[in-house]
Chain A
Amino acid sequence: MSTWHDLVTASLIGTERTVVPAVSIPGLAPAEDDAGDPAAVLLDRAALLTAARRAGRQPDHAEPLPVCEPDPRPAMNPAAGRRLARMLSGEYPELLTEWLTAVAARGLRLPPHLLPTLLDRARRALPVDAGLPRLLAEAGGPRVRWLAGLNPDWEHSVEEPATDDETWRLGDARQRRGYLTSLLARDPDAARALITGSWDAAGAAERAMFLSALAGALDPADEPLLETALDDRAEDVRRWAAYLLARLPGSALGQRMAERALRYVWLEHAAQGPRLSVGPPGRPDAALQRDGITSRPDLVRVPLESRSQVLLEVLARTPLRAWTDGFGLAPPEVVALPSGGWAPVLFAGWSRAATAQGNAAWMTALIRAALTGRRPGTTAEIEALRQLVRRADPGRGAPGATPESADAPDVSPPIRDAVRVLRFRYTMLKELDDE
């Protein structure tokens, strides 16, 4: 409507410097020449046109989006949807992976309106957590793929299992990793052959990537490769190899750690009953360093701290069977043995071993000990408890499964948080099974 543009232009310039354009509105007689203040005349004509333009607004036309294919999975119940909203707004965000895995396993449909926030979360998690995009693709189904296709920001937020070996030959590091992970799930032998075949030609970053991909599909057949990698030139590769070997049941590294651990910690039968005695190691020797344990440079000047740190690292890598078999005791009995001032180191070391080895009986025994007995006090213990309650069997959070004493008003924050996490995990998983 050129009349309107003329009015806007005149108002921009100012009626001091220009004349007021005439206005014609269909169905309305043209305004008579007004002898008043030109500024007032302009405003009056603009008011008339504004109302006319707003009332006479014509609709636009749009290009429809592609239609998303249907998702046959049932919707989750509203309570579970509300819990996702709470987790996305900051309540236990670290439990999102466990929750999404459970949703995908139960074949439930996510509430669509929360998918944008999940996609943003996955984008921010990259490249550190490449698992979230894969998990989101699985749990989110066709709707999340459709949505991610609308916004370039979400290009990498959803990762499909890459099955095309073009990806392996031509893809970037992230895509190659995706291909390898999906091949490990589909055909582990082929994936291992691919790793050993590419090992010598691969750069240090890529060798570390191979090992990190193995973390989700560890198998005794990987041991020879990992043993070799302990002597790798690159520190990153050596660290990954030691980390994985410590988690591999029956590995030679685990055996070496068990021998060391039983040398440092032994069972004594005192007058008051059995107790643990500790003779901590000195500086890590070459063999210990090869197995992934080095002195923390910040602790070298504090010999006792440094020695207990080395002990903790050894315990964290020791197969837990070493203790039960060695002492002939069940996990709760080992955990309950008095050990004096070394108790915090033993608790933290065992806890790290239990979470790394996924040992449910030990996790239960350690959580119970922390909630009912001596309360965790050191930073290492508190962190170990934090990890325990996030990995333990969620049934630990069932009503009545946590000790009454954990609800007392004077209980310390780490204990209170631990109980809350257990209960939250129990409820969030149980909720998914509710109608």
Chain B
Amino acid sequence: MLTLAPDASSLRAAQPLASGRSWPLTGAADDRVLWGEYLGRAATPYRTVVDLSGPAYRCSCPSRKFPCKHALALLLLWSDGAVGRDAAPPDWAATWIAGRAARASDTRDSRPPADPAAAQRRAEQREARVATGLTELDRWLCDQVRQGLAVSQRSGYRHWDDIAARMVDAQAPGLAERLRALAAVPYSGPGWDARLLEEYALLRLLATACRDQAALPPPLRDTVRSRVGFTVRQADLLASATPVRDHWHVLARRDLDRDRIRTRRSWLRGQRTGRTALVLSFAAVGQSLDDSLAVGTVTDADLAFYPGTVPLRALVAARRDTVSCGPPPGRTVAGLLAGYAAALGEDPWLDTWPAVLTATPARVPLPCLYDTSGEALPLHPGAGDCWPLFALSGGHPLTVAAEWTPRGLWPLTAWDGDGMVVPL
């Protein structure tokens, strides 16, 4: 519950409010919805509703924090057992609950575009713009290599921002994002030149693959188009994909702030199918991200996978029960590398691959994780010292969930000796 608070100060603000005296009315129904009226200094009580299945919150207070302290205090009361169960919600709470249920079924509907002909025209225009953009990008990439990468090192951020902006104009946001990320590479320490060349080479491969997409088999075409920035509408995906039902173990998550957008990557593994899934959620900076997938829990859910050669990204189509769970089965370093190699054969642009290892951290010659056969993989230099990982291990093996990248492992979750989950 504490992880739902947007920050520590909200939680501090909520604690003193969680007193029965301040809540003349509270109730809960189906172990799913809580409501209450908070009597503070305002003339009328604040009305707070929490839907635990989201979780989602609604409060009549003017706070812009989300969830606000009243919602958090209500949750605290509820977790203390101070909220009566199985009550009938008052009208104001019932209205909101019904509205949410209606909206939830709405987003599942796939509504046809209003004007098919206009939509068709727009799609063709976009294809044309992207094609022009790809030609321009290819020319730009070749220019870089013709002049030499030493020149780009001296040119500063603007160098990549300009070409990224042109890819935005060409409606290829996937390319733009990859290009913007390159601005940091010349300052990423020894080996920057090799990393920049790798990225330029993969970008040209993507540009040429997209230009010749008609010749590609459909799954590869989908992979290429999604990496360039063509998106599949959620409604279309839910209408077309066959959902995969499983008990999905939430292994890890990582939040990234970029360009005023917060992205949360949640990594899931199916206990029956063994499939790995990546669920993305987005929020504006300062807003709280979707918390419905808590690390260390197992959710019975249907996932709809986006098409591609290595289908990783998925959408939660339906959710049922969620329970806590111990560590997932860990793999060896060899198993991880073999899995990644196989995936690269299908999607050469794949540079973030989920890893669950049973391994021991070490510091020499570089911070790394090694398995029982003594094979080691380095930790990502950007992941810092990872001291909590070392503290948890005490020199013994433990289960670690991480993202494997060409630069090393980025540890995200560890399970301690008692099987307790610890987000790193």
Contacts and interface: CB of A to CB of B under 8 A. Distances in A.
- Mostly helix, strand, loop or mixed at chain A's interface? helix
A217 B194 CA distance: 64
B41 interface: yes
Given A39-B145, A46-B198, A64 B360 contact: yes
B104 interface: no
B337 A75 contact: no
Interface stretch (B46-54, B128-136, B210-218, B341-349): B341-349
A78 interface: yes
A67 B396 contact: yes
Contacts of B368: 60, 62
Interface in B372-417: 374-378, 385, 387-392, 394-396, 406, 414, 416
B186 to A, nearest CB: 11
A409 interface: yes
Contacts of B220: none
B146 A16 contact: yes
A13 B378 CA distance: 30
Nearest to B396: A67
Contact of B394 (A46, A49, A112): A112
A43 B376 contact: no
Interface residues of B toward A: which range?
35 or more
Interface string A399-435: 0000000010110000010001000000000000000
B285 to A, nearest CB: 20
A116 B387 contact: yes
Contacts of B375: 59-61
Contacts of B366: 60
A283 B310 CA distance: 85
A65 B391 contact: no
A151 B376 contact: no
Given A13-B148, A57-B337, A420-B15, A116 B364 contact: no
A63 B422 CA distance: 25
A75 B418 contact: yes
Contacts of B202: 47, 50
Given A7-B197, A62-B376, A44 B204 contact: yes
Contacts of A420: 15-16
B363 A150 contact: yes
A12 B148 contact: yes
Contacts, number: 177
A314 B77 CA distance: 47
Contacts of B19: 407
B210 to A, nearest CB: 14
Interface string A66-108: 1110000001001000100010011100000000000000000
B150 A65 contact: no
A294 interface: no
B87 interface: no
A15 interface: yes
A65 B376 contact: no
A342 interface: no
Nearest to A16: B146
Contact of A16 (B148, B204, B360, B396): B148
Given A11-B145, A112-B391, A55 B378 contact: no
B418 A407 contact: no
Give the dominant DSSP class at B's interface: helix
A8 B193 contact: yes
B16 A50 contact: no
B11 A86 contact: yes
A112 B197 contact: no
B34 to A, nearest CB: 21
B377 A60 contact: yes
A18 to B, nearest CB: 9
Nearest to A58: B337
A13 B149 CA distance: 7
Interface in B151-180: 151
Nearest to A66: B395
Contacts of B424: 113
Interface string B20-62: 0110000000000000000011000000000000000000000
Contacts of B388: 112-114, 116
A14 interface: yes
A311 interface: no
Contacts of B149: 11-12, 14
B391 A14 contact: no
Interface in B288-337: 333-334, 337
Given A407-B19, A416-B16, A64 B344 contact: no
B333 A59 contact: yes
A59 B369 CA distance: 10
Contacts of B395: 64-68, 146
A65 B341 contact: no
Nearest to B347: A51
A40 interface: yes
Contacts of A78: 420
Contacts of A68: 394-396
B88 interface: no
A150 B390 contact: yes
A146 B387 CA distance: 12
B150 A12 contact: yes
B77 to A, nearest CB: 14
Given A55-B341, A78-B420, A147 B376 contact: no
Given A146-B394, A409-B41, A12 B193 contact: yes
A346 to B, nearest CB: 30
A17 B345 CA distance: 34
A14 B363 CA distance: 38
A113 B11 contact: no
A115 interface: yes
A14 B148 contact: yes
B109 interface: no
Contacts of B8: 86, 89-91
B197 A11 contact: yes
B12 A46 contact: no
Interface string A327-351: 0000000000000000000000000
A179 to B, nearest CB: 29
Given A60-B368, A62-B365, A143-B391, 18 more contacts: A8-B194, A14-B150, A14-B151, A17-B148, A43-B205, A56-B341, A57-B341, A59-B376, A60-B376, A62-B376, A67-B395, A86-B2, A112-B391, A112-B394, A112-B416, A150-B363, A407-B21, A409-B40
Across the A-B interface, give the 10 residue pairs with the lowest CB-CB distance, nearest first: A14-B148, A116-B387, A46-B201, A68-B394, A59-B375, A67-B395, A47-B201, A39-B142, A62-B376, A55-B341
21 contacts: A11-B149, A11-B193, A12-B150, A15-B145, A16-B148, A43-B145, A43-B200, A47-B205, A51-B348, A54-B340, A59-B377, A63-B362, A67-B395, A68-B394, A78-B420, A113-B391, A114-B391, A146-B394, A147-B391, A420-B15, A420-B16
